[in-house]
Structures are given as structure tokens and as C-alpha cells.
């Protein structure tokens, strides 16, 4: 999350630099007498890019947090509208299918009545039975056919109702997940703004209450616990994270830092090896982390970094 905010600020700064450079170019092309801006110089732009890429901390502001939250809210509203539109189309399609079925059934029954009437007329002419017997039999047959059609469409309607219920439950579940995700993003942003380890730990606890299996929250909490000197607590958090994700490189890295603070250098190097096997991007962090300074003079540590 810190990298996301820093990347966004860097992009905004580069866009601003490009806009200033374009403005300076346009002013020169129009015949203005002012000297070209130094910001348009490629060397100045490169220096600005290097400065942005080497920032030590995020240059975020509450406006960026508000922008992200507004975008999430707009996305959630748009997704809800799309789901409602999809549900309406699905219902309309099912209703249209039912209308066609009912129309087909009505036409079938009508033609069936015509056929019975014709056959009855023929039978009356040939002296089969009386008109009353023909009418009773015709009504019986019609009732049976109508009963079959009603039963068939009742089953279809129950299936449609079940499908609509499932889709409604799915939409509700997605809405709850979006709200939970939005709240988690808000907590992560709040944690990034905190400077006290105790406050960050409290925020990570709130995240773990919502998602107990969040390995990232467990490892970041372990990092803050190490800052408070609670080494065993940090070890327990990292081991819990590894039970959820056995290949979590950050958890192995925090274990290496904890073992270094306890003086177990062999175990610390072992955990560093596990970290680099899973994420080689930690190599620079290992070389610069003050918590690992006691390992710098060990031969195993040098061999690990040179491998």
C-alpha cells in the first residue's frame, strides 16, 4: 500500500513536470521573449525522477485517501447498478419465455378443442354416442391436458424462483465483500499514516478481526512487535502466518530478524536463506536492515549474499 501511494505521487509529479515543459515549449513557439524554463531541461527532469524514486517515505495526503475511497465507492455503485440491470434482463427473459409457453399452450388447447369438435361432429353423424357423452369426454380430456401443462409450468416457475434467490444471495454476498474490502483499505491507509507502533498494532488487530487468515497483517504486526522488543510475540505471529502460507517470504524475514535479536545467528541465517529462495528482492533489504548488523561479519552470511 505504501508503494502504491508513492507510485501515484511519483506519477502525478512527472505529469506536472511534463505539463510545465509543454507550456514552456508552446510559449517559445509563439514567439515569446522569455527564456525557456529550466524544468524542461532533460537533466532536470531526470533529477526529479531520481528524487521521486529515492523517497524514504510516502508523500501521501488525506486528499489521496479521499480520492481512493471515492473511487471505490463509485466502483461499488457501478457494480451494483450492473448487477441490478443484469437481474432485470434475466427476469425479463424468463417472463418472456413463460409468455411464449403460455401462448403456445393456449394455441395448442384451442386447436385441440377444434379437433375434438370436428371429431365429435363426425362421430355424432355416424351415431357413436350422444352429444352429452362427447361433451363430458372432451371436458375430461381438456382438464387432463390443462393439468399437465399447469404442473409443467409450476415446476419451471419454481426453478426460476430458486435461480433468482441464488443470484440475489450472490449479489448480497458480493456487496458485503465490497464493503469489507473498502473498510480494509481504509484501515491499511490509516496504518500507513500512523507513526507509533502501538497504534499500528491496534489497527492490524482490527484487520485480523475481519480477516484472521491475512498473512500480510500478521507479518506487519510482527514487524511492529519487534520494534517494541517483544521478540517471542513476533516469532509466534510469524509461525502463525507460515501455517497459513508456508511460502510467505516476509514471515521468514521477520523470523530472521527475531532470531538475530535473540543471538541465534545460525537460525537467523537459515531463515534468511528461506527468504531469498522465495523472494530475491529482499537481498537489498537484508544488506541495509540495522536489525541484521550482527550477522554482517559472519562467513555464512557473506556466503549467502554472494550465492
Q: What is the pLDDT of residue 25?
A: 47
Main-chain dihedrals φ then ψ at residue 61, nearest 5 degrees = -150, 165
Average pLDDT of 282-288?
85
Name 181's Cβ contacts closer than 8 Å, sequence gap at least 6: 72
Q: What pLDDT is stored for residue 208 in this prediction? A: 85
Closest alpha carbon to 301 in 280, 279, 271, 281: 271
**What length is written for the chain?**
307
The string of pLDDT tens digits covering residues 53-70 is 776 655 556 677 778 788
At 3, the pLDDT band (50, 70, 90 cuts) reads very low
Measure the CA–CA gap between 285 and 269, rounded to whole angstroms.
14
Note the pLDDT of residue 204: 85
The 10s digit of each residue's pLDDT in 133-160 is 767 888 888 888 888 888 888 898 899 9
Task: State the Cα–Cα distance between residues 78 and 197, nearest whole angstrom.
Answer: 37
CA 55/CA 47 separation, integer angstroms:
12
| Residue 129, pLDDT above cutoff 80 | no
Annotate 146-179 with b (16+ C-beta within 10 A) or e (fewer): eeebeeeeeeeeeebeeeeeeeeeebeeeeeebe
Cα 128 to Cα 118, 119, 120, 154, 258: the distances in Å are 14, 11, 9, 38, 102
Cα separation, 40 vs 27, whole angstroms: 12
pLDDT confidence of residue 27 = 43
What pLDDT, on a 0 to 100 scale, did the predictor assign at position 126? Answer: 59
Contact 183, 210 (CB under 8 A): yes
pLDDT, position 17: 46
pLDDT of residue 183: 83
Q: Is the pLDDT of residue 121 over 80?
A: no
pLDDT for the residue 130:
60
pLDDT of amino acid 16:
46
**Model confidence at 19: pLDDT above 80:** no
pLDDT (0 to 100) of residue 62: 66
Using DSSP, how many helices (H) and how many strands (E) does the chain show? 11, 0
Furthest-apart CA pair in the chain: how many Å? Answer: 118
pLDDT at residue 9 is higher than 60:
no
Give the model's pLDDT for residue 57: 57
Answer for the pair 227, 261: CB distance below 8 angstroms, yes or no.
Answer: no
Amino acid at each position: 500500500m505504501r508503494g502504491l501511494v508513492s507510485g501515484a505521487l511519483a506519477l502525478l509529479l512527472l505529469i506536472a513536470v511534463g505539463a510545465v515543459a509543454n507550456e514552456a515549449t508552446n510559449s517559445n513557439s509563439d514567439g515569446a521573449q522569455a527564456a525557456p524554463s529550466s524544468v524542461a531541461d532533460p537533466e532536470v527532469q531526470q533529477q526529479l525522477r531520481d528524487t521521486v524514486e529515492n523517497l524514504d517515505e510516502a508523500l501521501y495526503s488525506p486528499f489521496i485517501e479521499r480520492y481512493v475511497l471515492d473511487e471505490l465507492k463509485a466502483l461499488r455503485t457501478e457494480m451494483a447498478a450492473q448487477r441490478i440491470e443484469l437481474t432485470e434482463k434475466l427476469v425479463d427473459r424468463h417472463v418472456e419465455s413463460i409468455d411464449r409457453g403460455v401462448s403456445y399452450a393456449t394455441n395448442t388447447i384451442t386447436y385441440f378443442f377444434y379437433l375434438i369438435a370436428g371429431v365429435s361432429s363426425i362421430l355424432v353423424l355416424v351415431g357413436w354416442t350422444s352429444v352429452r357423452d362427447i361433451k363430458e369426454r372432451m371436458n375430461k380430456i381438456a382438464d387432463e391436458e390443462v393439468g399437465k401443462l399447469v404442473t409443467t409450468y409450476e415446476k419451471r416457475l419454481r426453478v426460476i424462483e430458486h435461480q433468482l434467490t441464488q443470484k440475489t444471495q450472490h449479489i448480497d454476498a458480493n456487496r458485503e465483500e465490497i464493503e469489507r474490502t473498502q473498510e480494509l483499505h481504509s484501515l491499511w491507509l490509516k496504518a500507513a499514516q500512523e507513526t507509533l507502533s502501538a497504534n499500528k498494532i491496534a489497527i492490524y488487530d482490527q484487520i485480523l478481526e475481519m480477516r484472521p487468515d491475512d498473512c500480510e497483517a500478521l507479518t506487519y504486526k510482527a514487524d511492529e512487535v519487534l520494534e517494541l522488543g517483544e521478540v517471542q510475540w513476533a516469532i509466534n505471529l510469524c509461525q502463525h502466518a507460515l501455517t497459513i502460507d508456508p511460502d510467505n517470504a516476509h514471515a521468514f524475514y521477520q523470523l530472521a530478524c527475531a532470531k538475530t535479536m535473540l543471538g541465534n545467528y545460525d537460525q537467523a541465517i537459515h531463515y534468511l536463506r528461506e527468504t531469498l529462495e522465495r523472494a530475491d528482492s529482499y537481498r537489498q533489504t537484508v544488506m541495509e536492515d540495522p536489525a541484521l548488523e550482527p550477522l554482517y561479519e559472519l562467513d555464512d552470511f557473506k556466503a549467502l549474499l554472494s550465492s
